[in-house]
Amino acid sequence: MKVLPTQLPGVMLFEPVLHGDDRGFFMETWNHARYSDAGLPQMFRQNNLSKSAKGVLRGLHFQEPNPQGKLVHVLSGEVFDVAVDIRRGSPTFGQWEGYHLSGDNHRQLYVPEGFAHGFCVLSDFAIFSYQCTRVYEPANDRSLAWDDPDIGISWPVDEPRLSDKDRRAPSLADCDTLPTYHEPDRAASV
């Protein structure tokens, strides 16, 4: 497994090893020891699967309190996947990164707790898998505006298909419930 560099601390992009031949392929999508050695020590508490049509944009979503970290990947199709640092006081607050994830490139993206997450579907449909560090709590479900100019995400769609929740989501500046950044514990890393 390769861990590819990203610009936002805690966001991790993985390229799992594929074992394939003319019959198909096999890949490991999660192995606690391997991912922990790569810097992802979290255990996951819930797995989710979604199927979305071309042009659907889901996000930007987060949970606060009790934030979720998410290890995401596409089983079929292609998406543009985005992580946004929304931790008040973070040196990278409001910054985003986006990656193409597909059933062909098999990449996985880890979106840490304290980040908003979203994706838009580029193929006819996409089947998308999420492993979450905490269970979903409807009362703590939050959204941010997908098109917030202060974040400035370069989505590869002009007129996405949105849920009512995502259409009404506030901007980052108008969101009153955001996680707080905590300095990394330097003693724990020594």
Catalytic residue numbers, as ranges: 61, 130
Q: Rounded to whole angstroms, how far apart are CA atoms 160 and 84? A: 19
Q: Yes or no: say if 37 and 115 are a contact pair by the CB < 8 Å rule.
A: no
Q: For Cα atoms 98, 104, 105, give the angle at the middle one, nearest 5 degrees.
A: 45
Residue in the block written with tokens 């849920």: 163
Pairwise CA distance, residues 49 & 65, whole Å:
23
